[in-house]
């Protein structure tokens, strides 16, 4: 799975840390529109969001933000 650049993940990470499921979904859809190579990533994040796994999303993103 290919992750978008760090600057594209910041808002998604902040939404996940805050538990804002709707904002997580919005960011995932935005990232999906950036490039087709991020579709798998976006779909995975959306799946986690549907399951209210905001903490799992934050943990997934954290290593890619440093």
The DSSP line for the chain is: -PPPPHHHHHHHHHHHHHT-HHHHHHHHHHHHHH-GGGHHHHHHHHHHHHTT-HHHHHHHHGGG--
What is the pLDDT at residue 8?
95
Task: Quote the pLDDT of residue 66.
Answer: 82
Q: Is residue 36 part of a domain?
A: yes
Question: Is 52 within the bounds of a domain?
Answer: yes
- pLDDT at residue 7, as a whole number: 95
Using CA atoms, how far apart are residues 10 and 56, in angstroms rounded to an integer?
Answer: 15
Q: Would you say residue 40 lies in a domain?
A: yes
Q: Supply the pLDDT for residue 14.
A: 98
pTM, to two decimals: 0.94
Look at residue 12 in the predicted model and tell me its pLDDT: 98
Asked if residue 20 belongs to a domain, the reply is yes
Number of domains in the chain: 1
Q: Is residue 50 part of a domain?
A: yes
Residue 27 forms part of a structural domain:
yes
The whole-number mean pLDDT for each consecutive block of 10 residues of the chain, a chain of 66 residues, reads: 96 98 98 98 98 98 94
């Amino acid at each position: 799975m290919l992750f978008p650049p760090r600057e594209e993940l910041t808002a998604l990470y902040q939404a996940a840390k805050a538990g804002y499921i709707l904002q997580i979904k919005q960011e995932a859809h935005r990232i999906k529109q950036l490039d087709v190579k991020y579709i798998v990533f976006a779909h995975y994040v959306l799946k986690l969001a549907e399951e209210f796994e905001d903490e799992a999303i934050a943990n997934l993103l954290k290593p890619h933000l440093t």
